[in-house]
């Protein structure tokens, strides 16, 4: 049989599974080894898909912008999260995606965002008030905090007793996304993931129906979405709103958790950087962080960018070609998977000085390493699927860091040897202990 990717460097991995097991075990190591062996363009076979990985900013630009509208995000993501988060915005393409994105945009407008700011600070203050001095697992702390924020800001309820169940349901659905065995046998991650999804659909289904019955729309994201209309003035079907909410909670929750955990961990290991951030957030004098403040919070912004560079919450963006095309001159036959990777791009030695070091000043005027190419630093993606929640994420991360470091100091043991597993969304392999004083 003719090999349609014979012109692309690389190997086909192990029989049947290809590179799946190596990828799941050590995505960064595998990608780095491939880069050293084959260069910035190589073939891979993961979860039954034959594809090409591109590691240059120019290819990343061509993939995100997709001028010919031939790269399907739905087909790219479907073999990992398709069954678990179906019909979410990232699992829609072209005109259908555009139509849904326009409706959802109503819940992410400037006015809507301004309405979320107070709730983000209120929940944060409540959590941090009760936080005793001493050791704490920063990943777990941030996970609880961001879930509570998501519940109150996005869903408009305090999940209370349901919080643990919803948290579990998400964790199961996310873990299932990279499991190689996709048969719902008892006790398997896949079965737990599908059950998690069913639980989320039940919770959100009840909530959407209740919101539609209310005469006065509230200001939380779910209510805005439940009452948002298409260009024809129609409400979205309830199932669509539920699917969007399930996906949104995924997109919003683990991504901000991981950013905050990595950022606070790095600031704990780099006291001088922490001092600069602390001085700046103390100057806010208790005022809430708003999108308008971002220009003033220069050190906080750079530290956040550096956390997103080192540990991007969405490490790979997969697509699938629906027609033949060329990407940076490489022929991509229809049906081929295409992947770009912020994980590798953000530490590519051709572009960054000391790529593994935490060095927020690389984003400062005079250096601005990220500006060497429009698509070198892409934590929020780009093009039609650019993260719709990037401003919400920025406010959330900065508000939590500001509220914590205005009154407390965090330290960590540099010998703790924390290892972060980068896929599907970065997560420490063991405890990530900080001491808070
Ligand atoms: C630091 C936090 C976050 C990061 C790094 C992040 C990153 C990303 C990236 C890279 C994509 C595009 C993936 C691709 O093109 O394949 C994306 C899409 C998306 N994100 Fe985020 N995200 C974050 C937080 C959020 C939040 C807080 C929300 C919602 C409140 C959100 C909602 C979404 C949605 C709905 C999409 C799909 C957009 C579309 O397909 O049109 N994200 N995100």
Which is the closest atom of ligand 1 to the Cα of 392? 27
Please list the ranges in the chain whose pLDDT falls under 50. none
State which ligand 1 atom lies nearest to the alpha carbon of 97.
41
Domain that holds residue 244: 20-436
Residues 360, 275 contacting (CB under 8 angstroms): no
Cβ distance 402 to 121 under 8 Å? no
Is the peptide bond prior to 424 cis by the omega test (within 30 degrees of 0)?
yes
Q: How many domains does the chain have?
A: 1
For residue 182, the model assigns a pLDDT of 81
Assigned domain for 112 exists:
yes
Cα–Cα dist 402/287, whole Å: 10
- Which residues 6+ apart lie within 8 Å of 270 measured at CB? 358
Residue 283 within a domain: yes
Which protein residue has the closest C-alpha to ligand 1 atom 43? 387
Ligand 1 atom closest to residue 101's alpha carbon, by position in its atom list? 41
12 lies in some domain: no
Q: Has 153 been labeled as part of a binding site?
A: no
Q: Within a domain: residue 5?
A: no
Q: pLDDT per residue over 233-267, tens digit each? A: 999 999 999 999 989 888 888 899 999 999 999 99
For residue 370, being part of any structural domain is answered with: yes
pLDDT digits (tens, 9 = 90+) for 425-434: 889 999 999 9
Distance, CA 238 to ligand 1 centroid (Å)?
22
| pLDDT value, residue 400 | 97
- Lining residues, ligand 1, CB within 6 Å: 73, 89-90, 101, 248, 251-252, 255-256, 259, 308, 313-314, 317, 379-381, 385, 387-389, 392-393
What confidence score (pLDDT) does residue 349 get?
A: 96
Supply the residue whose CA is at minimum distance from atom 18 of ligand 1: 387
pLDDT tens digits along 266-295: 999 999 999 999 999 999 999 999 887 766
Q: How far is the CA of 433 from the centre of ligand 1 (A)?
A: 27
Q: CATH no. for residue 50?
A: 1.10.630.10
What is the whole-number distance in angstroms between the Cα of residue 252 and the centre of ligand 1?
7
The answer to whether residue 6 sits within a structural domain is no
CA of 292 to the centre of ligand 1 (A): 21
Question: What atom of ligand 1 comes closest to residue 91's alpha carbon?
Answer: 40
Q: How far apart (Å, rounded) are the C-alpha atoms in residues 321 and 339?
A: 11
How many angstroms does the Cα of residue 54 sit away from the middle of ligand 1? Answer: 20
**Residue 1 counted as domain residue:** no
Residue 82 falls inside a structural domain = yes
Q: Kindly report the CA angle at 44 between 4 and 252, in degrees rounded to 5?
A: 125
CA of 251 to the centre of ligand 1 (A): 5
What pLDDT is attached to residue 83?
83
């Amino acid at each position: 049989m003719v090999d349609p990717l014979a012109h692309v460097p690389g190997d086909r991995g192990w029989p049947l599974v290809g590179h799946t097991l190596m990828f799941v075990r050590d995505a960064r190591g595998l990608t780095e080894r491939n880069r050293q062996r084959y260069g910035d363009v190589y073939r891979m076979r993961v979860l039954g898909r034959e594809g090409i990985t591109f590691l240059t900013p120019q290819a990343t630009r061509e993939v995100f912008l997709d001028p010919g509208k031939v790269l399907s995000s739905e087909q790219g993501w479907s073999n990992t999260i398709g069954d678990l988060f179906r019909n979410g915005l990232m699992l829609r393409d072209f005109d259908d995606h555009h139509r849904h994105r326009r409706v959802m945009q109503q819940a992410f407008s400037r006015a809507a965002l301004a309405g979320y700011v107070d709730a983000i600070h209120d929940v944060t203050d409540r959590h941090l008030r009760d936080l005793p001095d001493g050791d704490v697992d920063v990943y777990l702390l941030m996970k609880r905090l961001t879930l509570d924020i998501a519940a109150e800001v996005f869903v408009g309820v305090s999940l209370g007793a349901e919080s643990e169940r919803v948290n579990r349901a998400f964790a199961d659905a996310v873990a299932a996304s990279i499991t190689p065995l996709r048969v719902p046998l008892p006790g398997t991650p896949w079965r737990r993931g599908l059950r998690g999804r069913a639980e989320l659909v039940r919770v959100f289904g009840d909530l959407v129906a209740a919101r539609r019955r209310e005469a006065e729309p509230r200001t939380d994201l779910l209510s805005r979405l439940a009452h948002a209309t298409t260009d024809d003035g129609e409400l979205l079907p309830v199932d669509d709103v539920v699917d969007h909410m399930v996906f949104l909670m995924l997109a919003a929750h683990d991504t901000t958790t991981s950013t905050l955990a990595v950022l606070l961990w790095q600031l704990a290991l780099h006291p001088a950087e922490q001092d600069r951030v602390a001085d700046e957030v103390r100057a806010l004098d208790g005022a809430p962080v708003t999108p308008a403040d971002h220009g003033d919070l220069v050190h906080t912004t750079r530290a956040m960018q550096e956390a997103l560079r080192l540990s991007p919450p969405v490490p790979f963006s997969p697509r699938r070609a629906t027609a033949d095309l060329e990407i940076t001159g490489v022929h991509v036959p229809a049906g081929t998977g295409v992947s770009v990777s912020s994980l590798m791009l953000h530490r590519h030695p051709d572009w960054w000085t000391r790529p593994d070091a935490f060095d927020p000043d690389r984003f400062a005027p005079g250096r601005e390493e990220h500006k060497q190419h429009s698509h070198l630093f892409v934590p929020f993606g780009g093009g039609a699927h650019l993260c719709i929640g990037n401003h919400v994420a920025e406010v959330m991360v900065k508000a939590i860091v500001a509220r914590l470091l205005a009154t407390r100091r965090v330290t960590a043991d540099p010998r703790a040897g924390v290892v972060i597993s980068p896929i599907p969304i970065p997560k420490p392999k063991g405890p990530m202990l900080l001491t808070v004083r």
